[in-house]
Structure 1
Amino acid sequence: MSHSANNQQRRRRTKQQRKQSSSESSPAPDDEGMPRGPRGQTTSLESISIQPRTPRTPRSNGGHYRASDEIGVEEVELSLLGEDERRQGMTLEEEQEYLAQAEKKPISTKDKRALALLIILYLIQGFPVRVSTSYPVWSLPFLLKEHLSYSQIAVFSLASYPYSLKLLWSPIVDSLFIPSVGRRRSWIIPMQLLIGTLMMALSFNAEEYMENPSEHIYTMSAAFTTLVVLSATQGWALTLLSQENLSYASTCQTIGLNTGYFASFTVFLALNSETFAAKWGLPRLHLSTYMQFCSAFSFLVTIWLLFVKEEREHEDEDLSIKTVYLTMWNICKLKHIQILCALHLFAKIGWAAHDAVTQLKMVEKGLGREDLAIAVLIDFPFQILAGYVAGRWSRGDKPLRPWMLSFWPRLVLAFLATLMVYYFPKPPIGFGFFVLIIIQTVLSSFAGTVQFGGISAFHTRISDPVVGGTYMTLLATFTNLGGTWPRFFVLKGVDLFSVATCQNKGQGVSVKAAECVSDHGKAACMDLGGECITERDGYYIVSAVCLALGVLSVIFFMIPTARKLQAVPPSKWRVSS
């Protein structure tokens, strides 16, 4: 029998009990309207009639209470249920009214402390993820582009895949923990220690990896894959915040991750640049030094977490690993979840080429790494603002609204970026074109952050709190996969569709060379007295295919499907009894 059916039966029984009690136990009133006691004496205490399980709101009316003045039985019954239980039985209209009332409540002091903690934890995640690989720009691939082709960078990009596949081990994280330490801290603390230790170990060989990346490409990929696995194992959002402020979890993630990204991309690339260091008279920041800093920061945060108290969760939420995997399977069997996962897998196909290749192409055509770092520096405060806007905009009954509206700006901006690469001027780059790069970067990142905040708020709204970690991870897995799985094929496609030759005009020799797609290959061609000539750049073909697929999917699948899913009541997304 369903939960709502049980509620209806309970309400009917309460009504019958109230009527029966009123008819059988109410004494006859005296001439003044006051009920008489058993010995004929009148007392004001006898005017109070206690009904089973149904509290009353007293209203004065001639010195006694009437049944018509009571609170509705249905409202009383709902008040006797827990918050999660009440929300499971709500209709869509009741859910919208609940969310509208919650939106007006101020953020409590407890939630403010929880928000600060979440930002710090996501900040730590941003360090290794951005250094290795991440959307939309990555630090190491920019440094490695001088020595590697796009196909080799595609191999290194596989390091980001574990962040999209953490669903495979999330049930273990949800089920195994030390009660005295806490469900979340049992995993976060050791993960932080391992991250700090591994980054410290990598720092000792970092410069050798950077000087000869082609010889160490698989070692580097394995090391950073491990870092991403450790970073992906952390999570505390769903149980730290109260229900009405869960939409701010995406805001914390945006602020924390982007702050870590800012440090690992903008600050690191700028200070790592010899030109920037010489211009400002600063010592050059090497990768080994920066990784040692990240390692020390991870250790300090771990010490701080030792003094953070984690509230104990309900005992009925302590699920076995088998139960969590079965629950995950039950989640996957929900029709709405299947549709939502399909939506996620293809949601980012339209700008996949832009995210993976555009800025690498700009650097290839002469944009300095320090100039791109400046563009990202200007973009940083706008991303923080976008995270806040998304959190505010996603509260209420339409959390997917910012997600849907951001599709068209992102597609238009991806098309604009492709044109910018095509018409990229020869160095030095003029101020006007550089301003255009900044505007495109800011608007694209702003739209992406707003879209991320909207979908994250929707996830927190529909997730079942009893298996929150697994539910949220399942949804985040497909969200991340939507942006991760195309990256490898996009990078491979650029090399596949590109045609380049090493021409030696003096000797009249022209040889097709796959190596000419990398800066290292171009230098080798020059050493032989030749010049690499790109006859066809596969980037434009791949970008055109992605944009076409993106437009068609948005019109015929993304937006219509998202509107239907948003109208489904939260109770339909639950899997727990």
Structure 2
Amino acid sequence: MFKRTSSRNGTLNKGARMQEAAVSSSFNNIGVSPRTPRHGMEEDDLELSLLREDERQQAANGLGTEDRRDDSPSHPMSSEDKRAMALLCVLYLIQGVPLGLALGSIPFILREQLSYSQLATFALSGYPYSLKLLWSPIVDSVFFPSVGRRKSWIIPMQVIVGSIMLYLSLNVQVLMDDAKNHVNELTFLFTSLVFFSATQDIAVDGWALTLLSPDSLSYASTCQTIGLNTGFFASFTVFLAFNSEAFATKWGVPHLTLSAYLKFWSVMSYVVSLWLLAFKKERKEALSDVDMSITAVYKQIWAICKLRHIQLLIVVHLFAKVGFAANEAATSLKMVEKGFQREDLAIAVLIDFPFQIIGGWLAANWSRGSFPLRPWLHAFWPRLGFALMSTLIVYYFPKPPISMGFFVFLIIQTVLSSFASTVQFVGISAFHTRVSDPLIGGTYMTLLNTFTNMGGTWPKWFILKGVDLFSVATCQVKEASSQLVTKAAECVSEQGKEACTALKGECVTETDGYYIVSAICMLFGVVFLVLYIMPTVRKLQELPTSAWRVKMS
């Protein structure tokens, strides 16, 4: 039967060992253990100036020997840790597949049939990944003891994901062929897919803290980066390329349908679930007297959210990505609208994938030491610059077919822009892993990642709606007996486009709302970065690790 834990289990014991030995890193240099202060207690007093009186007292009580230890020497990775890393990569990869479909491939395929407002409705399917904090305490607290604390959630979630993908594989062609009449059904199915993947992610994040040894814990983010990115790109760029009949004909490869792709990953989800159930045993976690019931974990989340510095970090996360949100939500769709072939876009992003891995490795080195957020902060300016460049590319996009020189330019721009994005992702992941309390590892990481993800998710709906809202397009109909052109009706909504087609007219865009929305986002991004993010982040990363913890009763 299900068990609600009333103890902090083996995660606490792991956490204690992690606090006694700093974690070395080869990919992200992420350490959960507290860092060593550089200038003694005087600097800690200065760092605590950001806190309220009660928070300063609580943090001061935690400033003991654990915050003063030097980093322990690293040890060679054991074969058990290598196998654990491989397993984590596979589990994260399975999560990345539905995300790549819901946030990548499907919107591109649907763009030919739907307006930006309708795409905004489908974009809601990505929201569960940003809201998983709401049910993460349940995942941390309820489980089958005979199966394992994390496997109790990972296995059923993967089975459900596989079943949804199997159902989609049998019905997706009918839904996609008449997408404008099935937007709500498609949104529901892919929202469900993302919801169960997000639930699995909570359990995998928590399992990583006990699956890996303390000396190898920093590799958890490495597994997440490799697994999620591989799954996402497989479902986005690779699938879009092989799904294109032109690409298949040009390169002599089989044409991959969405139905066949979904069936393949459905089978993979079932296979991995069966392997976990039959062959992978989860370590039994020791019990303790700390209350880890669902109610207690929710209270812990609330206590964490009441910390002054957590509130400042939440504001940073919720608005940090607005500056380049229009670029990420609409630029690629606009390029395809202007004639850029989907398979060419897929090739460009596919070439970019190895550079993302390299970028993550470099960012890991830059995130070492006492300032893990420094690379995250420095990468803001390049990302804003590339957002501006992307807007200009859309504006001056040449009529197809595009030249090889322009295609190479797009690839370079994509690689550099993605590099800056990867630097930020690794930098913020390093910071989150460093300050998270391993006692509620899955929930604490989810708490911080929730607001990071939400910062990139909530603007998307408004941006896609805004593109249509600020756009001005009319249906121009030529008189049969003369060259006279008549403006018949608006041509932004799907109803207007259908009416224009019935009149045998042509939609002519007079004002493209994409440029207005992009300008608003970039202007806000620059102002918010200079006036709020830069001064706030520099203070936050100076705080001792103990200031981010809340003692559980």
TM-score (norm 2): 0.84
Which residue of the other structure, out of 241, 244, 250, is the alignment partner of 1:270?
A: 241
Q: How far apart in 2 are the matches of 1:118 and 1:396?
A: 26
Matches within 5 A, 1:445-460: 445-460=418-433
Q: How far apart in 2 are the matches of 1:139 and 1:359?
A: 11
SS at match of 1:92: coil
Residue in structure 2 matched with residue 84 of structure 1 by the alignment: 19
Residue in structure 1 matched with residue 82 of structure 2 by the alignment: 112
**8 Å Cα contact 1:345-1:482 kept in structure 2:** yes
SS at match of 2:400: coil
SS at match of 1:181: coil
Question: Partner amino acid for 1:566?
Answer: Q
Q: Post-superposition shift, 1:86?
A: 8.5
Q: How far apart in 1 are the matches of 2:496 and 2:241?
A: 25
Residue in structure 2 matched with residue 398 of structure 1 by the alignment: 371
Q: How far apart in 1 are the matches of 2:411 and 2:497?
A: 29
SS at match of 1:313: coil
Residue in structure 2 matched with residue 491 of structure 1 by the alignment: 464
Question: Partner amino acid for 2:487?
Answer: S
Residue in structure 2 matched with residue 150 of structure 1 by the alignment: 116
Q: Post-superposition shift, 1:432?
A: 1.3
Which residue of the other structure, out of 162, 165, 171, is the alignment partner of 1:205?
A: 171
Q: How far apart in 2 are the matches of 1:291 and 1:248?
A: 30
Residue in structure 2 matched with residue 308 of structure 1 by the alignment: 280
**8 Å Cα contact 1:191-1:230 kept in structure 2:** yes
Deviation string 1:127-159 (CA, Å, 9 cap, x unpaired) is 1111011xxxx1001000000000000000000
Matches within 5 A, 1:205-284: 205-234=171-200, 235=204, 236-284=207-255
Q: How far apart in 2 are the matches of 1:251 and 1:559?
A: 27
Question: Partner amino acid for 1:549?
Answer: F
**8 Å Cα contact 2:471-2:513 kept in structure 1:** yes
Q: How far apart in 1 are the matches of 2:291 and 2:78?
A: 27
Which residue of the other structure, out of 88, 91, 99, is the alignment partner of 1:129?
A: 99
Over 3 Å counting, the alpha-carbon distance change for 1:169 and 1:380 in structure 2 is: same
Higher RCO (C-alpha 8 Å, min separation 6): 2
Q: How far apart in 1 are the matches of 2:485 and 2:464?
A: 32
Deviates more, 1:427-436 or 1:527-536: 527-536
Question: Partner amino acid for 1:252?
Answer: C
Q: How far apart in 1 are the matches of 2:414 and 2:34?
A: 44
Residue in structure 2 matched with residue 568 of structure 1 by the alignment: 543
Which residue of the other structure, out of 389, 392, 410, is the alignment partner of 2:383?
A: 410
Deviation string 1:189-212 (CA, Å, 9 cap, x unpaired) is 110111101110111111011110
Count residues in correspondence.
490
Q: Post-superposition shift, 1:304?
A: 2.1
**8 Å Cα contact 1:203-1:291 kept in structure 2:** yes
Q: Post-superposition shift, 1:108?
A: 3.6
What are the ranges of 5 or more consecutive residues in structure 2 without an aligned counterpart? 1-15, 23-32, 39-64
**Bigger-Rg structure (1/2):** 1
SS at match of 1:205: helix
Which residue of the other structure, out of 358, 365, 388, is the alignment partner of 2:338?
A: 365
**8 Å Cα contact 1:139-1:265 kept in structure 2:** yes
Q: How far apart in 2 are the matches of 1:543 and 1:243?
A: 44
Residue in structure 2 matched with residue 42 of structure 1 by the alignment: none
**8 Å Cα contact 2:467-2:517 kept in structure 1:** yes
Deviation string 1:368-412 (CA, Å, 9 cap, x unpaired) is 000001001101111122222333433332221221121111111
Output the aligned Cα RMSD: 2.2
SS at match of 2:129: helix
Which residue of the other structure, out of 509, 520, 523, is the alignment partner of 2:486?
A: 509
Q: Post-superposition shift, 1:470?
A: 1.1
Question: Partner amino acid for 2:282?
Answer: E
Identity of matched residues, %: 61
Over 3 Å counting, the alpha-carbon distance change for 1:393 and 1:115 in structure 2 is: farther
SS at match of 2:415: helix
Over 3 Å counting, the alpha-carbon distance change for 1:177 and 1:457 in structure 2 is: same
Question: Partner amino acid for 1:173?
Answer: V
SS at match of 1:221: helix
Q: Post-superposition shift, 1:182?
A: 1.4
**8 Å Cα contact 1:174-1:470 kept in structure 2:** yes
**8 Å Cα contact 1:123-1:259 kept in structure 2:** yes
**8 Å Cα contact 2:36-2:68 kept in structure 1:** no
Q: Post-superposition shift, 1:355?
A: 0.4
**8 Å Cα contact 2:34-2:434 kept in structure 1:** no
Q: How far apart in 2 are the matches of 1:130 and 1:99?
A: 41
Q: Post-superposition shift, 1:183?
A: 1.0
